[in-house]
Structure 1
Amino acid sequence: MRWRYPVIASQKGIYPTILFVFFVGFLAWLYQAIQPSPPKICGTPDGPPVSAPRIMLRDGRHLAYKEHGVSRDIAKYKIVYVHGFDSCRHDVVIASELSPEIVQELGIYIVSFDRPGYGESDPDPKRTVKSIALDIEELADKLELGSKFYVVGFSMGGQVIWSCLKYIPDRLAGATLVAPAVNYWWPGFPANLSKEAYSQQFVQDQWTLRVAHYTPWLTYWWNTQKWFPASSVVAHSTAILSRQDLELMPRHSKRKSYAAQVRQQGEFESLHRDLMIGFGTWEFDPMDLENPFPNNEGSVHLWHGDEDGLVPVLLQRYIAQRLPWIHYHEIAGAGHLFPYAEGMVDAIVKSLLTRDV
């Protein structure tokens, strides 16, 4: 009977080995699953071609841009426009929807640019809430826009304007945030209010933002895995849009001609990093900002629709209460795409540039 014991003992020793091999294999799989693919940088042998004018930034990155309106040499008003999530330099609602008469009458020049990782701008693996404001300042300097210029941002681009107000306020002649994205974890929000607003999002979007905030290293995996539904915004779901948004969609259809450029360098350095930065832990709270124009030499405007399904309006109302120096414009019956409504951009731009509106 003694010969059985070694056999039994050896069989028992197999199980820990199998478990160990399985565990190592799982870790290897997990590591691969959370690693994003390298970006396909424009202008490199394996990357997309460069077709837009670009400037070289302080750290060697390139920023692609596009000019609109009158020539910058004769312009009276110079605006840097910041595009939103999953967009690029071609998505410039204040240029496409602005009346040509107003452009000529006021002498308006607009420059839009691809934010890092989008379109033809190089990715910025070291991107922070502050760095994008410095990119905007350097773009303005390279294009010789002068000591002061205006900034306008839409959606996630509107959120970037908070960074401009924080880090380059002395360079601003005025600023407008159009349907700006909010970070539900800004400490200035009352917990019950941010929770209420957060709960208004689709469950899948709640999880997407939760992952981006608490476990940013899983952002790539979460947005590429097939087990659970990821972001409805990334998937371009129309279920999140308001009645007015659906009516305005045809005016937003021009982007089909350049949509492929938006994510051409890869989704991680564009969409996913946007999520990690926009909904991560910020080094400042916008609700602690002071009026950059104490002598009324400029103005800051925030425009929002009360039926916006992407960004809950109640948080914008709270911001407007906390920062009374902001000119708050709430549009009844409007969704996230309200700037595409007839005459809306004219009102937005004139309120920023003139004092009689």
Structure 2
Amino acid sequence: MIEEFEVYFLLFDRAGYGESDAHPSRTVKTDTYDIEELADKLQIGPKFHVLGMSLGAYPVYGCLKYIPHRLSGATLVAPLLNFWWSRMPQTLLSAALKKLPIQNQWTFRVAHYLPWLLYWWLTQKWFSPLSPNPRETMTERDIELADKDTKNSYIKESALRQGEYVSTHRDIIAAFENWEFDPTELLNPFSDGNEGSVHMWCALEDKQIWREALIYICDKLPWIKLHQVPEAGHLMIHEKQHFEDIIKTACS
């Protein structure tokens, strides 16, 4: 497939992960300009396609907002919901938040309202900051796919070599802080006739991302093509067939 579509995949460590320097004040905007600078340093060309999944989708929203002129396309797969976006109906976002286990709800609230407390919150031993039951947030197939990843423990160890505080914790804060924009305010980067497209993939069995919220975003932004995948969970991008469908759609 890579040869057929002549795809070049560039995967990078966001700030604090792997060998990328930590960035204490990282935001959606700083991550976006990190992507642009990386593309320029590696001379991959004036335009590129960005793809993000789950929590890692927030820089894709950032690219659509801050550097739309650099994009040849964008793909969001089971993208996160910031439950404090300002222009989306709060009733919708509150309902999406309440779909999550209560421990996860409180962790995201701490990240938003008390980010300076998040490290303590996630490392204290009095109670679990996230649901200990994987079946509350993942389908059986998600669990199988996640178990495959845990067999390659060196990957996680390499990613978190600087410590979870400068990687995972700051990632969560950047995702759930007050953004400078709301996704429903985004403008079509290809409205001037330039070739390109934006795709959003929604797994119908996803227990983490509420489908109705994604549908609302795509209704407000009809230039985003919504793909609803039946019998797929949050980790659908790790399924060979779904991944190939995502890449083929992006390349079409």
Tell me which amino acid in the other structure corresponds to 1:129: V
Secondary structure of residue in 2 paired with 1:145: coil
Question: How many Å separate the matches in 2 of 1:143 and 1:194?
Answer: 38
1:352 aligns with 2:232: no
Tell me which amino acid in the other structure corresponds to 1:226: K
Say whether the 8 Å CA contact 2:53–2:78 is kept in structure 1: yes
Question: How many Å separate the matches in 2 of 1:241 and 1:306?
Answer: 12
Residue 178 and residue 205 in structure 1: after superposition, are their counterparts in 2 closer, same or farther (change >3 A)?
Answer: same
**Deviation at residue 211 of structure 1 after TM alignment:** 0.6
* Of 169, 172, 187, the match for 1:290: 187
Match of 2:223 in 1: 325
Say whether the 8 Å CA contact 1:252–1:340 is kept in structure 2: no
List per-residue Cα deviations over 1:109-152 (Å, max 9, x = no partner): 11111100011111001212101010000100011011111111
Match of 1:265 in 2: 162
Say whether the 8 Å CA contact 1:162–1:286 is kept in structure 2: yes
Larger radius of gyration: 1
Match of 2:112 in 1: 213
Counterparts of 1:95-114 in structure 2, within 5 Å, are 102-114=1-13
List per-residue Cα deviations over 1:134-181 (Å, max 9, x = no partner): 000010001101111111111111121000001111011011011111
Question: How many Å separate the matches in 1 of 2:75 and 2:89?
Answer: 24
Tell me which amino acid in the other structure corresponds to 2:29: K
Residue 241 and residue 212 in structure 1: after superposition, are their counterparts in 2 closer, same or farther (change >3 A)?
Answer: same
Secondary structure of residue in 2 paired with 1:174: strand
**Deviation at residue 103 of structure 1 after TM alignment:** 0.8
Say whether the 8 Å CA contact 1:244–1:333 is kept in structure 2: no
**Deviation at residue 203 of structure 1 after TM alignment:** 0.4
Question: How many Å separate the matches in 2 of 1:297 and 1:352?
Answer: 12
Q: CA RMSD in A?
A: 1.6
Report 1 or 2 for greater relative contact order, CA contacts < 8 Å, sequence distance ≥ 6.
2
Question: How many Å separate the matches in 2 of 1:150 and 1:133?
Answer: 13
Question: How many Å separate the matches in 2 of 1:250 and 1:222?
Answer: 26
Match of 2:209 in 1: 311
Say whether the 8 Å CA contact 2:138–2:234 is kept in structure 1: yes
Counterparts of 1:99-138 in structure 2, within 5 Å, are 102-138=1-37
Say whether the 8 Å CA contact 1:150–1:174 is kept in structure 2: yes
Match of 2:176 in 1: 279
Question: How many Å separate the matches in 2 of 1:313 and 1:296?
Answer: 30
Q: Identify the range of structure 1 (310-319 vs 325-334) with the bigger mean alpha-carbon deviation.
A: 310-319
Secondary structure of residue in 1 paired with 2:52: strand
* Unaligned stretches of 5+ residues in structure 1: 1-101
Secondary structure of residue in 1 paired with 2:9: strand
Secondary structure of residue in 2 paired with 1:230: coil
Residue 254 and residue 345 in structure 1: after superposition, are their counterparts in 2 closer, same or farther (change >3 A)?
Answer: farther
Question: How many Å separate the matches in 1 of 2:152 and 2:213?
Answer: 29
Percent pairwise identity: 47
Say whether the 8 Å CA contact 2:119–2:165 is kept in structure 1: yes
Tell me which amino acid in the other structure corresponds to 2:244: D
Residue 218 and residue 253 in structure 1: after superposition, are their counterparts in 2 closer, same or farther (change >3 A)?
Answer: closer
Counterparts of 1:49-64 in structure 2, within 5 Å, are none
Structure ranking higher in helix proportion: 2
Match of 1:299 in 2: 197
Question: How many Å separate the matches in 1 of 2:176 and 2:152?
Answer: 26
Match of 2:56 in 1: 157
**Deviation at residue 347 of structure 1 after TM alignment:** 1.0
